[in-house]
Structure 1
Amino acid sequence: MSKLCRVVVLISGNGSNLQAIIDQSSKAPYQVVGVITNKADAYGIQRAAEADIATSTVLAQTGESRDQYDQRLQQAIDSYEPDLIVLAGFMRILSDDLVQRYQGKMLNVHPSLLPRFTGLNTHQRAIDAGDSEHGASVHFVVQELDAGPVILQAKVPVFDDDTAELLAARVHEQEHAIYPLVVKWFAEGRLTMTDDVALLDGNQLAAHGYAAD
């Protein structure tokens, strides 16, 4: 049996994407070996415990710089000897040094059709802009926020009577479908990043990834 890809997931809250990745791990050559959070009350910790996955809590300290925090975060990550780091609602901006350390081995899911709506409040911004489509993007993490090469996207319609909460629920459902799939591709050795380009089976992915219906 080939070696399973060791995955560490970073969370700050509910951990629904973490749950989706855990749920699909029995069908793919990866294992979630650790969950790290920056919030002591993150519900995702309970999800990890129920799946017998080790957890680490790395809380910010008063007066601590981002670099100092990230040095402690790096120690927690490295303690699990991961092959892949997955950001799943981890609500901190990472330092350039940390991102560079795991270049090509760190994924994130963002609730918009990147490059549209980087940053926060994406669902309300899509409604306010009058967009007919919205969605989610899984991408490699690079030093510029939400700017890494997109691997896979899923689209949802925006309805006239949508609220940010209703739209978010539909986007989350798609995240739960596409994020485990991308982790699976990485674990199978099919997905790589070279020169800031995402490659699947050695072929460059389109600028906006594959669209999942």
Structure 2
Amino acid sequence: MSLPIAVLISGGGSNLQAIIDRKEQGVLDVDIRMVLSNRAGAYGLERAHAHGIPTAALSHKDFDSREEFDAEMVRILKNAGVEAVVMGGFMRIITPVFLSAFPGKIINIHPALLPSFPGVDGQGDAAKYGVQLAGCTVHFVDEKMDHGAVIIQAAVPAFPGEDEEELRKRILDQEHRILPQATQWLAQGRLSLEGRFVKLAGGDVSPAETDGASLVNPPLEKGF
């Protein structure tokens, strides 16, 4: 049984592509019912079209409030039969109107090791700060920006004086692994919350191969 999901995007949609690729490889148990963007020109919409996935473009600028915008998103997604939401580079803070429509079923990818460096440029902020380790986080979404309980994180080395774009690429490579993995755990019903702690139920799983260039916890499973 596949979990009916929507993927929300604002830009290029490379994380969307990672989810599509894993689904087409047969390792991700989801049915992507909708890709929704708040920007009509987002390249991620073209990625969805190329794979026959329904799309919607809805500008937040056309609404008087965040709540009205979120209510229209909920209407569109519910009409598509969506039961869970994956935010793959969606640059909007959502309101309780949206949260209450998909309780415990909304996850987000952030390009930093939360709670460090929340906000729109986690990679750049980490590089400017001079960290030795950077990375990315998949977390449940709540009413605060980049605040919800952490599901999985990947850490990569950061090197003094390196080109910031090289760090961004290293982080993005890990985003493309941990977001599909977290989506699969959500689809399998293996995630539960105890306060701020996410518990992952066990299963008959095999670990993914690693090149030793990253540290991921919980460990990735085979196929991711």
Q: Give the alignment's TM-score, normalised by structure 1.
A: 0.89
2:69 match: 69
Matched position secondary structure for 1:27? coil
Matches within 5 A, 1:35-184: 35-62=35-62, 64-184=64-184
Moved over 6 A (4+): none
When the two structures are superposed, what TM-score results if normalisation uses the length of structure 2? 0.85
Q: CA 1:63–1:101 in 2, change beyond 3 Å: closer, same or farther?
A: closer
Amino acid at match of 1:193: L
Q: Which one is further off, 192-201 or 78-87? A: 192-201
Note closer, same or farther for the CA distance 1:212–1:128 as it changes in structure 2 (3 Å cut): farther
Aligned partner of 1:112: which letter? A
Aligned length: 205
Q: Which runs of 5+ in 1 are unaligned?
A: 203-208
| Superposed CA offset, 1:140-185 (max 9, x none) | 0011211111010011111122233221111110000111011111
Residue 18 of structure 1 is matched in structure 2 by 16
The SS at the match of 2:21 is helix
Report the counterpart of residue 205 of structure 1 in structure 2: none
RMSD of aligned residue pairs (Cα, Å): 1.8
Alpha-carbon distance in 1 for matches of 2:63, 2:14: 31
Q: 1:120 deviation in Å?
A: 2.1
Find out whether 1:198 has 2:205 as its counterpart: no
Corresponding residue for residue 188 of structure 1 = 188
Q: What is the identity percentage for the equivalent residue pairs of Structure 1 and Structure 2?
A: 36
Q: One-letter code of the match for 1:98?
A: F
